[in-house]
Amino acid sequence: MANFYLRHYNSAKNFCLVETLTEVVLLLAKLKQRRYNRINVISVHNDYKAKECIISMQDADNIIKQIPVIQWFPGHMQKTRKLIQENLKLVDVVVELVDARVPVSSRNPWFQEILKSKPHIIALNKADLADSRQLKAWIKWFKDNGTPAVSLNSVTGQGIRELVQLTANASKKKDAMYEKKGAFVRATRAMILGIPNVGKSSLINRLAGKARAKVENRPGVTRDKQWIRLRKDLDLLDTPGVLWPKFEDPSVGLKLAWIGSINDDVYDTESAVLILLEWLRNNYKIALSKRYNIEADELDCSPMEIFEKIGKKRGCLLKGGVIDTEKTMNHILSDFRQGNLGGITLDEIPEGETDGL
């Protein structure tokens, strides 16, 4: 097996040591997004003899094509975009709800385009499913880049009080303006934005104290806006989850598929699961080993072999001992999405980049 160091051209700083072609592909996609012209790929083989080559972005494009192409933008999402734009002028502050496991990949870039100077809070929901150390680092990163951020668990209520306080603080400028003019200080109006299946309905139900919004663990359940009075000085506008028409970085589509923000019927689930297993093996090997009771050194094999071992361990078998592919795929995805492997964070904190808000 060869190891690969990736770095951008004319830089002495290595981005990351990776061991598989999949990780090379994902990193190439990330570097391409940062618009580097060329990338050094240093292949270090088992004999420790380094072989270095420089690949062009055209070559990188050919390699990136190995990632399954995942796109999902059903017709109702275009309607949602118009609804959000029409109502944005009515609110004082925006709460952008993201999945704590993918704090950047679950952010719709279109939101950043339309929000501009609107007071804005990042709420990292499903905090219990994320790597706790990584989550703290992400909260700090958002704050360091000028955007208030809070971690949430909308099921248990963890972080709700802090979110409400941040929302109130964000509207102080508006309140001061009204008071200066001698006008009545109306209730703060906040809008919740997010992509599908990040927990908006669960959050609203927790805030409102009862099941005001329909909750279901699949993307695209909420289809219209809802105004909800949380307390006398705070009104909340919920909006349906919305993606963007095209994922420029193919690894974003993969991550959103893994967490369940994309309908499972629109992509090659088997390929996505195999890449997920490879990523977990290389980043959370112990968690993978413990969950499926497979010795860590037995995971040093191909993703398909890991897949088959999990199928056998979980009894996902057809007649003749053949692995039930669909049942095994669903089992692995369910385990990952429900946090049965422990806290996992898929996104890495960008180096030398700012939030842009």
- SS3 call for 192: strand
Under CATH, to which class is 1-66 assigned?
alpha beta
In the chain, residues under CATH classification 3.30.1490 are 1-66
Q: pTM for the full model?
A: 0.76
Under CATH, to which class is 75-238 assigned?
alpha beta
- Other CB atoms closer than 10 Å to residue 301's CB: what's the count? 12
Question: What phi and psi values does residue 346 have, to the nearest 5 degrees?
Answer: -90, -35
Residue type, 199: G
Under CATH, to which class is 268-343 assigned?
mainly alpha
* Burial grade of 215 (CB within 10 A; 0-12, 13-18, 19 or more): middle
HSE of 325, CA atoms in CB hemisphere, 13 A: 8
| DSSP E strands, 27-125 | 38-44, 50-56, 93-99, 120-125
Question: What phi and psi values does residue 19 have, to the nearest 5 degrees?
Answer: -120, -5
pLDDT of 247: 79
357 residues of the chain, pLDDT tens digit each: 333 334 333 333 333 444 454 555 555 555 554 444 444 444 433 333 334 344 444 444 444 445 565 666 666 777 888 888 888 988 999 999 999 999 999 999 889 888 888 899 999 999 999 999 999 999 999 999 999 999 999 999 999 999 998 988 887 777 777 677 777 767 888 999 999 899 988 888 888 775 454 434 444 444 456 788 877 788 888 888 888 877 777 788 899 999 999 888 888 898 899 989 999 999 999 999 999 999 999 999 988 999 999 999 999 999 989 999 999 999 999 999 999 999 999 999 987 554 444
d(CA 1, CA 44): 9
DSSP 65: T
Question: What phi and psi values does residue 302 have, to the nearest 5 degrees?
Answer: -70, 155
pLDDT of 230: 77
Q: Are 19 and 4 in contact (CB under 8 A)?
A: yes
In the chain, residues under CATH classification 3.40.50.300 are 75-238
d(CA 228, CA 226): 6
